[in-house]
Structure 1
């Protein structure tokens, strides 16, 4: 993987981005990436918010915001992709602004020194700051399955504990998923995710 990434970098055919939500789940990727590896960034924290598009009011966006808490790091997936796929990623992240992560804010143990920009996507402000919003279970399943497969059970717990506004209700749409990149959970994954949501008192509402 790293040899191919190095060759792409040498040709100028490479960009990198940091996934902290559904992009952590490789099953949701829709471009043929060059590779990906676990990584963390400092200076950002996840949170749930209302969507910026008033036509989609009522549904939650997972976003990040600048964070100055000393010692806090945000685990996720560092993804390397062909530069030609950047437009496709921007379209996928509609409603988000592409930001550049400071290189010294990335904690990464891969066998490759990447000196190009690393992007992270930050949601635009909600159309109404007081808008009620709820999380799609089908979206949350994709996010938590990604962390479960990349990092294990402890990071699913950490995700729930460290993501601000996780008192947001969850819409139970798993059987008729509304999230366009929904995933299929193994029985063990489904049981674990449900147990974590119950354990942490996350409220659920019928679809």
Structure 2
């Protein structure tokens, strides 16, 4: 019997946002990150979309007792997809891996009414920096579509419930990455 794992590609890369055991850096093929809005949430988040030939980094982590209930609740705007054969990972035993994606029919382009929160971007970039270093942060920005979306600067009063404190260097890395991709920051 294989153990159950999930592949996180956004905030789940940041281990400070969860307590899932046995987490490992990993890579999935055939998917690309994109900013999307779901009618089940007020703001926009990352999702993945099928993309032949694409490769993104992330974190896999064991789902305790293969009980998906808590993770499904956290990811309630998403559906789970099996990606076992598409994931390169360092785990030395058979595992089954799933990835969460907003269903295509439920995806909408982010808007001023449903922006991306800067506090969410901060958490994601902090996770990629910790797991993959500066090169991993650059790869995150390069392998994510939709940077033309409005990004609401909520750093002073974070709206993202898993917001983390960032060092000055981490904030600079986020700001530099956003400038590189031409993201538009909306001030509160």
Q: Does 1:119 align with 2:101?
A: no
Aligned counterpart in structure 2 of residue 158 of structure 1, from 134, 139, 142: 139
Deviation at 1:128, TM superposition (A): 7.3
Could you say which residue in structure 2 is the equivalent of 1:90? 72
* CA radius of gyration, larger in: 1
Kindly indicate which of the two structures has a greater share of residues assigned to strand. 2
Cα deviation digits, residues 4-48 of structure 1 (max 9, x gap): xxxxx7xx8x4200000000000000x4x2211111011111111
Matches of 2:101 and 2:61, distance apart in 1: 16
Matches of 1:128 and 1:108, distance apart in 2: 29
Aligned counterpart in structure 2 of residue 16 of structure 1, from 5, 14, 27: 5
TM-score between both structures, scaled by the size of structure 2: 0.90
Question: Are the counterparts in 1 of residues 44 and 110 from structure 2 also a CA contact under 8 Å?
Answer: no
Residue 104 and residue 130 in structure 1: after superposition, are their counterparts in 2 closer, same or farther (change >3 A)? closer
Deviation at 1:83, TM superposition (A): 2.1
Residue 91 and residue 198 in structure 1: after superposition, are their counterparts in 2 closer, same or farther (change >3 A)? same
Deviation at 1:98, TM superposition (A): 1.0
Q: Cα RMSD over matched residues?
A: 2.0
Cα deviation digits, residues 149-180 of structure 1 (max 9, x gap): 10011121121122111111210001101111
Unaligned runs of 5+ in 2: none
Could you say which residue in structure 2 is the equivalent of 1:34? 21
Residue 130 and residue 136 in structure 1: after superposition, are their counterparts in 2 closer, same or farther (change >3 A)? closer
Unaligned runs of 5+ in 1: 1-8
Residue 107 and residue 199 in structure 1: after superposition, are their counterparts in 2 closer, same or farther (change >3 A)? same
Matches of 1:190 and 1:52, distance apart in 2: 30
Q: Secondary structure at the match of 1:45?
A: strand
Q: How many residues align?
A: 186
Aligned counterpart in structure 1 of residue 86 of structure 2, from 105, 112, 123: 105
Matches of 1:196 and 1:151, distance apart in 2: 15
Could you say which residue in structure 2 is the equivalent of 1:65? 49
